[in-house]
Amino acid sequence: MEQPTTVTITGAGGQIGYALLFRIAAGEMLGPDRPVRLRLLEIPQGLTAAEGAALELQDCAFPLLDGVEITDDPVTGFDGANIAMLVGARPRGPGMERADLLAANAGIFGPQGAAIAAAAASDVRVVVVGNPANTNALIAAASAQGVPADRFSALTRLDHNRAVGQLAEMLDARADEIERMVIWGNHSATQFADVSSAAFRDVPVIDALAERLGGATEAVAWLDDTFLPRVAKRGAEIIEVRGSSSVASAANAALEHVRDEQRGTPWTSAAVVSRGEYGVPEGLVCSFPVTSDGSGYRVLEGIDLDERGRALFDRSVAELVSERDTVRALGVL
Ligand code: NAI
């Protein structure tokens, strides 16, 4: 058995936290030979919910769970953290403008980035789930002096999984028969869910869709009119139907994001700090096709985007630039 891995989860008393903690403690994220030490970081109002979850964790008697600590102090919460999952965020309140939302979250993710730099383990990897996830990750990375920027990422795996789920349903396939899906850009309605590289049983998805729908024109129409808007607006659809935002699917995506980063994957989507790949301004936290050999996500380069795909990607990158500029104007970066 290896040494325990310390996993810090912020917002652990919230809904996603509750859907996430038990699966991590059961070994689904890091595997059956890596014990975990959980650190639950909350704000004072969230502490009792986190304490309740900790009682239930104890009652599960998970063999891999090496301890649970709860705190509302970020430096204590990130002390020795090997993995940090930043879930807690400030939601958009009534009448709140986008700049207000960004400012409120900068007040969370700036200090958390600084606490990570001060206290986390030297191999720390951080994923931001709390929205606006990409720009929150940008703020945390910029505030974590001395921690390499490539340790920070933001979650677009839920968008990726949603896209795969839609394709699998249309093609009457299992999800694992759909490969090489790509989410480009921001985790927002401007994201571009790109099937142009995707394959179904080694056949290009676009050809499989044409076969299924009776022609290439029909396939393109379904992609444009149904698939793209459905994936981009799936969060709103879940709220409408379920009466509450995505929770289990978001927790699942966060777990898969960390699992694949830590244990390796040939191909998935994740938002990582741009080094200028695909012409995206350096430093933006942008979703790309990525791979991992178990030591962090790396952008897969050389994937073709046609003119229309490029325009959709550029629109999402423009939104990321504008979020960054808003945050800069607030004096945060
Ligand atoms: P929730 O409101 O149930 O829980 C959030 C928790 O965070 C609360 O317990 C709150 O006390 C805590 N919190 C707030 N500020 C904190 C801070 N400074 N430090 C530590 N904890 C803090 O919300 P839920 O449903 O768990 O969602 C969490 C976030 O995840 C939201 O921002 C949501 O928009 C985002 N989300 C992101 C998705 C993605 O794909 N990237 C998908 C779904 C949700």
The ligand 1 atom at the shortest distance from the C-alpha of residue 245 is 25
- Ligand 1 pocket list (CB less than 6 A): 10-11, 13-17, 41-43, 45-46, 49, 87-89, 91, 108, 129-131, 133, 155, 158, 187, 245-247, 250
Domains of the chain: residue spans and CATH: 5-154 (3.40.50.720), 157-324 (3.90.110.10)
Closest CA to 4 of 94, 60, 83, 118: 83
pLDDT, position 332: 81
pLDDT, position 234: 96
pLDDT, position 1: 72
**Which residues sit opposite 7 in a β-bridge?**
38, 83
Q: Is this prediction's ipTM beyond 0.95?
A: yes
pLDDT, position 158: 98
Distance 86 CA to ligand 1 centre (A): 8
Q: Which DSSP category does 191 fall into?
A: -
Nearest CA to ligand 1 atom 43: 250
Distance 216 CA to ligand 1 centre (A): 41
Print burial letters for 264-276: b (CB count within 10 Å at least 16), e (below 16).
ebebbbbbbbbee
Distance 6 CA to ligand 1 centre (A): 20
Tens of pLDDT, residue by residue over 236-276, are: 999 999 999 999 999 999 999 999 999 999 999 999 999 99
Nearest CA to ligand 1 atom 36: 130
Distance 71 CA to ligand 1 centre (A): 16
Nearest CA to ligand 1 atom 12: 11
Low-confidence ranges of the chain (pLDDT < 50): none
Tens of pLDDT, residue by residue over 146-187, are: 999 999 999 999 999 999 999 999 999 999 999 999 999 999
Closest CA to 154 of 257, 259, 13, 263: 257
Give every strand in the sheet of 178-179, ordered side by side. 178-179, 199-200, 203-204
User: For a pocket test of ligand 1, which of 51, 129, 159, 286 has the largest count of ligand atoms closer than 8 A to its C-beta?
Assistant: 129
Q: What is the CA radius of gyration of the chain?
A: 20
SS3 per-residue string spanning 110-121: HHHHHHHHHHCC
Nearest CA to ligand 1 atom 42: 250
Quote helix, strand, coil % in the chain, to nearest 5.
Answer: 50, 20, 30
Residue 122 exposed, middle or buried by CB count within 10 Å (0-12, 13-18, 19+): exposed
Nearest CA to ligand 1 atom 30: 130
Residues labelled catalytic: 187
| Residue 156, C-beta contacts closer than 8 angstroms, at least 6 positions apart | 133, 183, 187, 191, 269, 270, 271, 287
Distance 87 CA to ligand 1 centre (A): 5
